[in-house]
Chains A and B, each alone.
Chain A
Amino acid sequence: DSGVTQTPKHLITATGQRVTLRCSPRSGDLSVYWYQQSLDQGLQFLIQYYNGEERAKGNILERFSAQQFPDLHSELNLSSLELGDSALYFCASSQDSGHPSDTQYFGPGTRLTVL
């Protein structure tokens, strides 16, 4: 157990709908990262938040958005869902102290299925 929690574990929804994925980082970690993993893809970095502010952006679609709250938990919002959005969504956290030892610890993931 990495200490990172994600809810829900599974999510099944229809095209055009909107969903929210939730992540709680390890105690003391200030950074949260979101990744998308499809069947034939590696880990696609979506976005990073550090202490409530957006720090880095990857291949995140405009239909997707995220935020990090004062208690450091984060939510990833996916809207106007398409079949191709079906994937495993991972959240990871790190201390992000600025030192090159900021290991990312991954949560168990949320499996999103869009029908």
Chain B
Amino acid sequence: GENVEQHPSTLSVQEGDSAVIKCTYSDSASNYFPWYKQELGKRPQLIIDIRSNVGEKKDQRIAVTLNKTAKHFSLHITETQPEDSAVYFCAAYPGYSTLTFGKGTMLLVSP
């Protein structure tokens, strides 16, 4: 089955800095890669996703890049704000079974 590794587990940045979270996956059949944001005590919410026929996707301050050859994808947050503080999960979908999630990255943005 699919295996997703996510790094780092914790990331601390100053407000205004950029943050990058990286994930690698094992199954080359994976073709859909969503990112979820989970604030403390709340539900995971989809913030951006990318499909295998696209190398990069942007939505305001958030971008995701995908390298299918290397089997890794990354979340980039620019101009971080304190409200970006949360746990971020990456996931991969191999077209069978279900989404496999990484273990999460706790992002802390200090004012």
Contact = CB atoms under 8 A, between A and B. Distances in A.
Contact of A45 (B34, B42, B45, B101): B101
Contacts of B42: 108
A90 B104 CA distance: 16
Q: Is the interface of A mostly helix, strand, loop or mixed?
A: loop
Interface residues of B, number: 23
A56 B98 contact: yes
Contacts of B72: none
A106 B95 contact: no
Nearest to A100: B32
A9 to B, nearest CB: 11
Contacts of B104: 42-43
B73 interface: no
Interface in B18-40: 31-32, 34, 36
A48 B93 CA distance: 14
A100 B52 contact: yes
A42 B102 contact: yes
Number of contact residues on A: which range applies? 20 to 34
A56 B104 CA distance: 22
Interface in A89-115: 90, 100-109
Contacts of A100: 31-32, 51-52, 93, 95
Contacts of B34: 103-104
Interface string B9-24: 0000000000000000
Given A42-B89, A102-B93, A103-B34, 9 more contacts: A42-B101, A43-B101, A48-B98, A100-B32, A101-B32, A104-B99, A105-B46, A106-B45, A108-B42
